[in-house]
């Protein structure tokens, strides 16, 4: 199979590329290296069935492929807020370009959407039929609304042009190859703990997230891409284990044996207070559920970050 992975040099994309290359597929990894890195894909460059293309998804790209995984988009709040106009362009124009390509070459195309489409959810836990509670004009909107518009485009190309689409909504995912400086909570806490710096809890630390280890996520993503024809999703992919940021910080301190202290910083605007996926649809359609508990995943991630110091 010839497979295009946009955002393939990023955190999740690099794990996906590895899986596909090891399966023997012909993989094109397309990335502009905004938040991704060549280091993430360095071990793949020796494979004859792996190819890296430096390209921006806001510009058209043409290749004869059978499947497209569309992951290109910065995912951490500081990075997607750095150039919010570009973030929106990446989601919307990237979706249009990849859907146009899929239409032209009759490829199946999967969109990496996000739990952010639920915004600050008033329904808990979140099921796919919940429409969300999203601020259209806040500092998170470039990402949330960009991803919502991308979902709309996917379903319109499907209805209007019969493009074969798959949409997954990814909940907070963590693991090796995360950029240590990208500002997300797992990487921040681990790096702070390993350096003996204060651990920065935003707000009271009572807000919750559900953390999925990257290997579990990539398996779900792969199963969705290869799921039965006509099953478009959207489907939630995440680990239903729900933790407060205070609980996460304590786990990181225990697992690293760090003497770091907790300090409170202001809560960023529109920070969702709770997040937990219902994954019944993924269980039924994909026979998928996460297998790696938070502590086990954190241990592997801590080992990775130790190596980056």
Q: 180 or 268: whose CB is closer to ligand UDP? A: 268
- Minimum CB–partner distance for residue 122 and ligand NAD (Å): 20
What six digits make up the tokens of 118?
């639920």
Distances (CA, A) of 309 to 38, 178, 194, 302: 18, 13, 9, 11
Minimum CB distance to ligand NAD, residue 138 (Å): 17
Return the HEC string of the chain: CEEEEECCCCHHHHHHHHHHHHHCCEEEEEECCCCCCHHHHHHHCCCCCEEEEECCCCCCCCCCCCEEEECCCCCCHHHHHHCHHHHHHHHHHHHHHHHHHHHHHCCEEEEEEEHHHHECCCCCCECCCCCCECCCCCCCHHHHHHHHHHHHHHHHHHHHHCCEEEEEEECCEECCCCCCCCCCHHHHHHHHHHHCCCEEEECCCCCEEECEEHHHHHHHHHHHHCCCCCCCCCEEECCCCEEEHHHHHHHHHHHHCCCCCEEEECCCCCCCCCCCECCHHHHHHHCCCCCCCHHHHHHHHHHHHHHHC
Q: Which of 172, 177, 260, 301 binds ligand UDP (CB under 6 A)?
A: 172
Interface of this chain with ligand NAD, residues 173 to 202, rule: CB under 6 A: 173
Q: Exactly one of 69, 80, 143, 157 is catalytic; which is it?
A: 143
Which listed residue (21, 32, 192, 207) binds ligand NAD by CB under 6 A?
32
Please select the residue that binds ligand NAD; options are 120, 172, 207, 301, rule is CB under 6 A: 172
- What mask of x and - would describe binding to ligand UDP in positions 211 to 250, judged by CB under 6 A? ----------------------------------x-----
Site for ligand NAD in 78-97 (CB under 6 A): 90
Q: Which of ligand UDP, ligand NAD, none does residue 242 bind (CB under 5 to 8 Å by kind)?
A: none
Q: In terms of CB distance, is 109 or 186 closer to ligand UDP?
A: 186
The least distance separating ligand NAD from the CB of residue 194, rounded to whole angstroms, comes to 20
Provide the minimum distance between the beta carbon of 56 and ligand NAD in the complex, in angstroms, as a whole number: 4
Shortest Å, Cβ 71 to ligand NAD: 4
- List all residues 6 or more positions away from 4 whose beta carbon is below 8 Å from its beta carbon: 27, 28, 30, 63, 65, 67, 68, 69, 101, 107
Restricted to residues 72-101, the positions that interact with ligand UDP (CB under 6 A) are 76-77
Stretch that binds ligand NAD, among 72-80, 192-200, 254-262, 283-291 (CB under 6 A): 72-80
Q: Is 213 among the catalytic positions?
A: no
Q: Residue 56, interface with ligand NAD (CB under 6 A)? A: yes
- Could you say which of 202, 240, 255, 289 contacts ligand UDP (CB under 6 A)? 202
First to last CA, the chain: 38
- Which residues are tagged catalytic? 143
Binding site for ligand NAD (CB under 6 A): 6-7, 9-13, 31-36, 56-58, 71-75, 90, 112, 114, 170, 172-173
Binding site for ligand UDP (CB under 6 A): 76-77, 172, 184-185, 188, 200-202, 207, 209, 245, 268, 271
């Amino acid at each position: 199979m010839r497979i295009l992975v946009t955002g393939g040099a990023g955190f999740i994309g690099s794990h996906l590329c590895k899986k596909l290359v090891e399966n023997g597929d012909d993989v094109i990894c397309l990335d502009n290296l905004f938040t991704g890195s060549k280091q993430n894909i360095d071990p793949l460059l020796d494979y004859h069935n792996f190819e890296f293309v430096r390209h921006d998804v806001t510009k058209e790209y043409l290749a004869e492929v059978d499947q497209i995984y569309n992951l290109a988009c910065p995912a951490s709040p500081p990075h997607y807020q750095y150039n919010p106009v570009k973030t929106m362009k990446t989601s919307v124009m990237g979706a249009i370009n990849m859907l146009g390509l899929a239409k032209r070459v009759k490829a199946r195309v999967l969109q990496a959407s996000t739990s952010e489409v639920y915004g600050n959810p008033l329904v808990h836990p979140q099921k796919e039929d919940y429409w969300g509670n999203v601020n259209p004009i806040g500092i998170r909107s470039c990402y949330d609304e960009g991803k919502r518009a991308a979902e709309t485009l996917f379903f319109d190309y499907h209805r209007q042009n019969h493009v074969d689409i798959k949409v997954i909504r990814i909940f907070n995912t963590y693991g090796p190859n995360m950029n240590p400086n990208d500002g997300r909570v797992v990487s921040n806490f681990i790096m702070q703990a390993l350096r003996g710096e204060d651990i920065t809890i935003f707000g009271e630390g009572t807000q919750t997230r559900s953390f999925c280890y990257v290997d579990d996520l990539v398996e779900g993503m792969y199963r969705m891409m290869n799921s039965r024809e006509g099953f478009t999703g959207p489907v939630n992919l995440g680990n239903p284990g729900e933790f407060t940021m205070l609980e996460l910080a304590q786990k990181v301190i225990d697992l690293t044996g760090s003497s770091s202290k907790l300090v409170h910083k202001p809560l960023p605007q529109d920070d969702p207070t709770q997040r937990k996926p219902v994954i019944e649809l993924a269980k039924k359609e994909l026979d998928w559920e996460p297998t790696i508990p938070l502590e086990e995943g954190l241990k592997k991630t801590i080992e990775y970050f130790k190596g980056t110091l």
